[in-house]
């Protein structure tokens, strides 16, 4: 495994956080490469594999097109921090891929020292190596093709739980596995309709009304930004 102070980055960009608690917040997104979870509906499948031949230089990354691509570059903590510091947004979202494959503490510690708020988005299938003040968004991925279990260490560290909903039975999983954490820790559960379909959206709305949860509508897709 590479040293913990460098990370494989698929892309870095500024946009609005479109999901859950920080919806509408200007953010710098750091998308890391690598994910063994294998969600069938994933909209970032180009980040799954770490193919050595697809590694490029940091200089080449600056010329990379915005469209999805499986190339990536290894960035050191200081280089990433300098890029974030030069951006307008103070909120930083580390996503993937599955960012919790990596020890994120060196990067987050540096960013927090420069007064950035850091949010990490994870599937909950790895122990999150983050700082105490990291805002952790866990989107639990149960029974995915990759076969990795969702870990209690991730669920009980979460600051919010965000759940992809496509069918009514998905609501049952949330009720069984996640609502006890919501009740015990008073953290929000967000239901996110798959593909923004009208049927899934209706399921989310009805469940949120009944159980006291919330609905996340992927605002960035609705307003056509990244």
Binding-site annotation: residue ranges: 16-18, 31, 35, 39, 69, 71, 95, 97, 139-141
Binding-site annotation, residues for [4Fe-4S] cluster = 35, 39, 69
Binding-site residues for S-adenosyl-L-methionine, in ranges, read 97, 139-141
CA-based nearest residue to 84, from 138, 159, 7, 139: 7
CA pair distance 79, 57, nearest whole angstrom: 13
Q: At what angle do helices 105-113 and 77-86 cross, to 10 degrees?
A: 40
Burial label, 23 (beta-carbon count in 10 A; 0-12, 13-18, 19+): middle
Distance CA 164, CA 37 (A): 14
Location of structure tokens 């996640």: 178
| 138 within 8 A of 125, measured Cβ to Cβ | no
* Bridge partner list, 215: 191
- Residue ranges of the annotated binding site for substrate are 16-18, 31, 95
User: Annotated binding residues for Mg(2+), as ranges?
Assistant: 71
């Amino acid at each position: 495994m590479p040293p913990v102070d460098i990370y494989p980055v698929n892309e870095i960009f500024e946009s609005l956080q479109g999901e859950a608690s920080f919806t509408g917040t200007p953010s710098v997104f750091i998308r890391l490469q690598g994910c063994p979870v294998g969600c069938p509906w994933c909209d970032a499948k180009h980040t799954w594999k770490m193919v050595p031949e697809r590694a490029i230089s940091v200089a080449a990354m600056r010329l990379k097109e915005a469209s999805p691509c499986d190339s990536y570059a290894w960035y050191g903590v200081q280089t990433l921090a300098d890029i974030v510091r030069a951006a307008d947004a103070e909120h930083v979202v580390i996503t993937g891929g599955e960012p919790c494959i990596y020890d994120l503490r060196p990067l987050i510690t540096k960013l927090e020292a420069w007064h950035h708020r850091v949010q990490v988005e994870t599937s909950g299938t790895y122990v999150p190596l983050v700082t105490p003040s990291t805002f952790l968004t866990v989107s639990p991925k149960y029974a995915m093709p990759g076969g990795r279990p969702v870990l209690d260490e991730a669920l009980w560290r979460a600051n919010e739980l965000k759940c992809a909903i496509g069918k009514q039975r998905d609501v049952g999983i949330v009720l069984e596995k996640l609502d006890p954490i919501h009740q015990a820790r008073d953290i929000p559960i967000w239901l996110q309709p798959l593909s923004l379909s009208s049927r899934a959206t209706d399921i989310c709305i009805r469940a949120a009304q009944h159980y006291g949860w919330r609905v996340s509508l992927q605002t960035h897709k609705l307003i056509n930004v990244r």
